[in-house]
Amino acid sequence: MPTMNEDYVLRQIEMIGEMISKALGFKVEHRYDEALETLDMALKELFGREADLLEMVDARTAARLIGDPIKIRAYADLLQTKVDLYSGVKSTLRLKTRCQTLYDEARRLSN
């Protein structure tokens, strides 16, 4: 049975998944600004005031600050959705690299 903290994290992750779906729906409707706003709200919901800090540091440091592999993957999923939104609009190489590093760190911390 999950602990209270694990249950809270799982509910947050579920909510993030819903917000990612919502953002992708906005993309289909070509409402890119609303899609990005939705992803930014999801980041703030999941990480609070630390969301801005996570954007300022390199991916490995962000992973260390987050600590929980599940939350690291959720952060990477949010960034990957931004890559999908930006695809064809602007260069996404830096963001793709950041996502991959976060997924690698989450995998490393899970083992």
Instruction: Enter the pTM of the model.
Output: 0.82
- Report the percent of the chain where pLDDT is more than 70: 95
- Domains of the chain, by residue range, sit at 4-110
Q: Residue 64 CA to chain centroid, in angstroms?
A: 15
Q: Which residues, in sequence order, are CB contacts of 3 under 8 Å at separation 6+?
A: none
**Residues comprising the chain, all counted:** 111
Q: Measure the CA–CA gap between 111 and 103, rounded to whole angstroms.
A: 13
Per the structure block, which two tokens stand in for 17? 């998944």
Residue 93: its pLDDT value, please? 84
pLDDT surpasses 90 at 104: yes
**Residues 20 and 42: beta-carbon distance below 8 Å:** yes
**14-43 pLDDT per residue, tens:** 888 899 999 999 988 989 889 999 999 999
